[in-house]
Amino acid sequence: MLEKIRNWLQDWSDACEYANECAPDLTFLTPYAPKAWLVAAGILALSFWAADIWRLKRLGQHGRAHSHSGHAHDLTLQVHLSPSAFADVATTAFITLISALAQFPGFQLALFPELGALANDVFRKPQGVWANAPFMLMATPFLAGLAGTLITNTLPYGMASIVISVGAAILVISLLKSPIAPAISAGLLPVTLGETSWWYPPSLLIGTGFLAGVSYLRRQFLPQQLVHSATVNHKQDPHISPHHDKSWVIFFSTFLLVGALSATFTGIRFLLFPPLVVIAFEMYAHALICPWAHRPLILPAVCGLTAGAGVLMVEALGAGPGAAALSVICGAVVLRSVHMHIPPAIAVGLLPFIMKNPDQDYVVAVIFGTALLSLTFMLWRIMAPIDKNM
């Protein structure tokens, strides 16, 4: 990205000079471009965070007004959904194990970033739909990853490969009636990274198979009333419960196309990083009950911080088990600090561990890409006839 900026600035300066036009020489800015873009992204994330705080205060006042009239709005339920300590510890241990395995020859692709999201939700909610669908937990990412690998080997990176891979993953989810939305990331990841190895799809089964086994065993030892409660409340889970307004499909598709166009035109692939599409799909398709759909403006700061933590750990310690564990811990701290449960944010921090030479460009791309999602989602919220108290 920085090389493209330098080239653009130099080309403009050369063109103006050739035409004998009085143009300012902007090439002096290029040594400061890396820091300038990072500072700009940081300011953007902080601005969104401040807007989120202002909006929460407004909603709080609105909720209190409704409570006085007998229509209380439970903001606490919507906003304060922090993950449990056990889930954080178990997720850290699990990712450490998978990362250690990924150090061995032939297992490098085992560290699928969305394993952090899947593990956190499975350990946090042993009676939830992800934990209750062990077969889907394995089959959905595998099939989506298979489709993504086929597309990567067939098409060059661009809008077509991005849209087809995401569409194929969503089709797999729909046909299987699967609740495993992180499978979308499994389908887009090989396209984004240019991963053509056919070992990628079966490597997904290592982590997902382990999680499926843990889910099955935990369910065997759960009290019967918890299992019954999970069955009764199955339709209320944010991972599978859609709302009736179908306009979300148009806005989600628009976001995907704009993101794909931006990534293709600029060459900055991580403007549409794979976990971002998962975040978008969940909040659009399940807007009334998805935890982070109620606070979309916090996403650039959260994802930017987890991305920064991941890059920092890789640069300081290398892409090893210890660094991966610290990245998960940092993600958990970030989520607890904002009182949110956003499992894909953990995946954002793990993505640098399978990237080639991750640096601050990734953090900048994550913040700008997430800001695009926040803005398009807020626009849909204004225009769509859904709950205005969100």
**DSSP state letters, 86-145:** HHHHHHHHHHHHHHHHTTSTT-GGG--THHHHHHHHHHH-TTSTTTT-HHHHHHHHHHHH
**Which residue, 93, 83, 173, is CA-closest to 133?**
173
The pLDDT of residue 215: 81
Task: Report the pLDDT value the prediction gives residue 202, as an integer from 0 to 100.
Answer: 94
Q: What pLDDT shows up at residue 109?
A: 84
177: left (phi over 0), alpha (psi -120 to 50) or beta: left
Residue linked to tokens 């937990």: 137
For residues 211 and 137, the answer to whether their CB atoms sit within 8 Å is: yes
Q: Which of 31, 48, 86 is CA-nearest to residue 302?
A: 48
Q: What is the pLDDT of residue 35?
A: 66
pLDDT digits (tens, 9 = 90+) for 12-68: 455 544 544 444 444 444 444 566 766 777 777 777 767 777 777 776 655 444 444
> What is the reported pLDDT for 187?
95
Nearest CA to 119 out of 148, 89, 140 is that of: 89
What is the residue type of 233?
N
Q: pLDDT below 50 — which residues of the chain?
A: 9, 12, 16-17, 19-32, 63-83, 224-236, 238-241
Note the pLDDT of residue 298: 92
Neighbours of 135 (CB within 10 A): 11
- Residue 71: what pLDDT? 39
Q: So what's the pLDDT on residue 60? A: 67
- Residue 153: closest CA among 114, 212, 195, 113: 195
pLDDT for position 231: 41
- Can you give the pTM of this predicted structure? 0.79
* Residue type at position 54: W
DSSP 319: S
